[in-house]
Amino acid sequence: MALIEGSGPGNDVARADRQTDKDADFSAYMAARQPALYRTAYLLAGDHAGAEDLLQNAFAKLYLSWDKVRDPQALDGWVRRVMVNENNSLWRRAWKRRENSTDPTAGAMPESGVHDEYDDGMGGVLWSFVQTLSPKQRAVIVLRYYEQLSEAEIADVLGISPGTVKSQASRALAALRARAPHSLNPHESGDAR
């Protein structure tokens, strides 16, 4: 009986070693990058449960494609893009569309105070307004102002042109200016003249 090339006990051991190396490399990447990527997922989803789902789906897709990784430096961008795409596809589902209440009796409203600290997206007055943006606009704002990516990097992550990044950011900032109270605008003083 002839053995088929690539089969046999020696190849099974080599295959198991490669799988172990893959698992170890992936686990190391995931442990190192999970906190920062979770932050991005939270900023995109707007809640902890949605963020965990986004990140878990992104890591699952990355694991399945781990053998195809050519540039380890591009992994974060690839994971961010998967999260943005997953978030956008969730928003397309009618049952997932979010409604934001303006009725003060409907529940907790955003804080009214203004803080002048680094906003990690986990709290703050402005975040409640960022959550009202469309998914594409929110993705651009999150990647630009919370993740500090350049327009070119955002265009690469989202698969759009830098001009589209600029226009989405401009529209998003205009919407935020229109929705947010004037007390949040650092360029306006309290006295109107």
Convert 15-46 to b/e letters by CB count within 10 Å (16 or more is b): eeeeeeeeeeeeeebeeeeeeebbbbbbbbbb
Query: How many whole angstroms separate alpha carbon 93 and alpha carbon 89?
Result: 7
- Length of the chain in terms of residues written: 193
| Max CA pair span of the chain | 96
Within the chain, strands assigned E span none
- If one compares 155 and 127, the residue with the highest pLDDT of the two is 155
This model's pTM is above 0.75: no
What single-letter DSSP state applies at residue 46? S
Q: How high is the pLDDT of residue 52?
A: 93
The secondary structure of 73-124 as a DSSP string is GGHHHHHHHHHHHHHHHHHHSGGG-------GGGSPPPP-----S---SSS-
Other CB atoms within 10 Å distance of the CB of residue 83? 28
Q: Which amino acid type is present at position 91?
A: W
Q: How confident is the model over 140-168, as pLDDT tens digits?
A: 998 888 888 899 989 988 889 999 999 99
Q: How confident is the model over 33-83, as pLDDT tens digits?
A: 999 999 999 988 888 988 999 999 999 999 998 888 888 888 998 999 999
Domains of the chain: residue spans and CATH: 22-99+121-182 (1.20.140.160)
Please choose, from the candidates 139, 123, 128, the residue with its C-alpha nearest in 3D space to the C-alpha of residue 90. 139
